[in-house]
A and B are shown apart, each in its own frame.
Chain A
Amino acid sequence: MLSTSSYAQGCTQCRDNAAATPIATQHAYRTAILLLVGVAFGIGSSVVLVGRRFR
């Protein structure tokens, strides 16, 4: 079932792209992901905490 035509949509290009990304950029992506997740979790948790105050 794995025909050659479906390989064309596969991700060798993308993998090469990721491999060619400098370490600094990879770190930047990681920082950005953690920043987004961290703030979102912080806001979510504070909504829950605020909710607990108003039983």
Chain B
Amino acid sequence: MSQSPYLRRESAGTLASSVRLAGRTSPIRCHLFTTDHRAIGRLYLWLALLSVAIGTILSLLMRLHLTWPERVLPFHGPVLPEDYLALVTIHGTLMLFFVLTTAPQSGFGNLILPSQIGARRMAFPLINAVSFWVIAAALVVLLSSTFVPGGSPISGWTAYPPLSAVPSAGPGQGTGIDLWLASIALFAIGSTMSSINQLVTVVRMRCEGMTWGRLPLTVWAWITASMLSILAFSVLLAALLLLFCDRHLATSFYLPVGDVVNGTLRAAGSHNGSPLLWLHLFWFFGHPEVYIAILPGMGLTSMILGNFSRRRVFAYRTMITTTLLIGFLGILVWGHHMFVAGLNPFAGTAFSISTIAIAIPAAAKVLSWLATIWRSRPSYTTAFLFSLGFVSLFITGGLSGPILAQPILDQYLHNTFFVVAHFHLIMAMAGIFGLFSATYYWFPLLANRTLHEGLGRIHFVGSLLGAYATFLPMHLTGLAGEPRHYAQLTSIPNAAGDLLARTLPLNRGITWAAFFLAGTQLVFLANLLLTLWRGPRSSPNPWDATTLEWHPNLSESDFGLLPVVYREPSQYAYQNGEARALPQWIDPALLPSAPSTSGDRGVS
């Protein structure tokens, strides 16, 4: 890896950011404490990889415990209910914040975004580095909660009060949740800084000719997600601050009167608060957060489907609009997480309507993806396959969205595994498929090597089958009444026990599928290590892509000429039924003939 031109480019980047250590940069300086956006992007990806590994192991432990509750964990002993809830909490927090937010938004955002807009670097390299280290500190603080007395918090990644505000609510609700609060506050600050950086970079640092209409959809997704981050994470920070006051400064923003926790009536002090307030503030953050996680995947899917089917992305301008529209509507819909939380029925109706309205831009995106590849003869690379998988999972997971968006149906389904199935398909699996797609597609830029396509295909097929086998049956157990957050489904005496017992066979199947899904990821890890060890060198533009990050002289452009952009991405010239890529940077004057570059889709 050390001979890769991309590493040379890295030290050049450090030079450009006025560190001036020509040639004598130590590897630590170069890879760890650096202000170069590519190195920082790589650090984010390593952080996300570590988090996703831990999060996956935790989820497998959860499945194991649900299916075989009497099994004793080695080095731990029997899994108590609070242990199970701690697993739920840390799994959710790791996956939501440290994987689905950092990897697509900050990881690939740093690696790819500047070169995609023709900028040499981010607008504020130092702030970029600081935000990574703040987020890394947040991860350390979160993981350290396992080792304090009482262990990790047990109130889920949403930390609903009053249980999250009262230390006597459970073992992890003492120091554990204080560390959780600190971790998430750090994460909010780090993410806000990194979003500001990305937003300014895109607004001010685009190269000549890179107008808004010519920006790749990935960049549109990144800036929409950045805008959402700035709005949402500040509100989360305020919510965390109030929760902290409730815990330590004897206030009662979220604490109602007559609150009975663990059999004790909490009487002291004024308790005028309402947990509903936390829900409002948290989901004002939480729902945009979902779009922060998924928007980059949506943008990338458009670009990859267009690139490998040699087609212009269908309705490019409309796709830009829908990206922004999803961002704006995403601010409006948070109430649908609260239909069973005592929300005013009037507000419930309003939020239901706005939630169903967001299906319109989402459906427009799906139509564009399908129209882009319709009757084309795509090259089925792994990146393309994972994008197809993204579309499939997005549709499957999305279709249960309008069901849950109706308060009446949500009353029954809200606390069941149906919701777990919904968000794991549309956010977790679709998000991860987007990430895999990005990894296979951009790996030549990451490490100057190409991941093995055969292993990639095995990885894809296994992941797709595993994802569906794991999460589709959860709809059924949810409909049958399996509740979320229950540590155990057996040994419950009454009718509920009978009900849960009937879901057990299916649950066993889900657990096997989950192990299969996780096992398939070992193929990916093997592919990653093998490729890094002795993978084939990639050519400068192996996918024949049209966007600027594949510019052949990008490594020289650090000191050389900045590229100039002449057209929208995903443009192809069609001659004799053959599609020839017209990269964004090729001067029209240099083209041999003047082929039709307009929006015709070339269905010959």
Residues of A within 8 A of B (CB): 1-6, 9-11, 13-15, 17-18, 21, 26, 29-30, 32-33, 36-37, 40-41, 43-44, 47-48, 50-52, 54-55
Contacts and interface: CB of A to CB of B under 8 A. Distances in A.
Contacts of A43: 230-231
A18 B342 contact: yes
B32 interface: no
Given A3-B495, A5-B496, A30-B347, A55 B212 contact: yes
A41 B328 contact: yes
B496 A3 contact: yes
Interface of B: 199, 203-204, 211-212, 227, 230-231, 235, 276, 280, 284, 324, 327-328, 331-332, 335, 339-345, 347, 411-412, 414-416, 479-481, 483, 494-496, 499
B455 to A, nearest CB: 42
Nearest to B344: A18
Tell me the interface secondary structure of chain A in the complex: helix
A11 B340 contact: yes
B199 A44 contact: no
The 5 residue pairs across chains A and B that have the minimum distance between CB atoms = A14-B342, A5-B496, A11-B340, A17-B342, A9-B415
Tell me the interface secondary structure of chain B in the complex: helix
B203 A51 contact: yes
A9 B415 CA distance: 7
Nearest to B354: A37
A32 B414 CA distance: 25
A44 B411 CA distance: 32
Chain B CB within 10 Å — which of A13, A21, A37, A40 has the most? Answer: A40
A45 B480 CA distance: 44
Contact of B331 (A1, A14, A40, A52): A40
Nearest to A5: B496
Nearest to B281: A36
B235 A3 contact: no
Chain A CB within 10 Å — which of B212, B284, B344, B494 has the most? Answer: B344
Given A13-B342, A14-B343, A29-B344, 14 more contacts: A1-B479, A2-B412, A6-B412, A6-B483, A9-B415, A10-B340, A10-B411, A11-B411, A14-B341, A18-B342, A33-B347, A43-B231, A47-B227, A54-B204
B212 A51 contact: yes
B603 to A, nearest CB: 33
Contacts of B280: 29, 32-33, 36
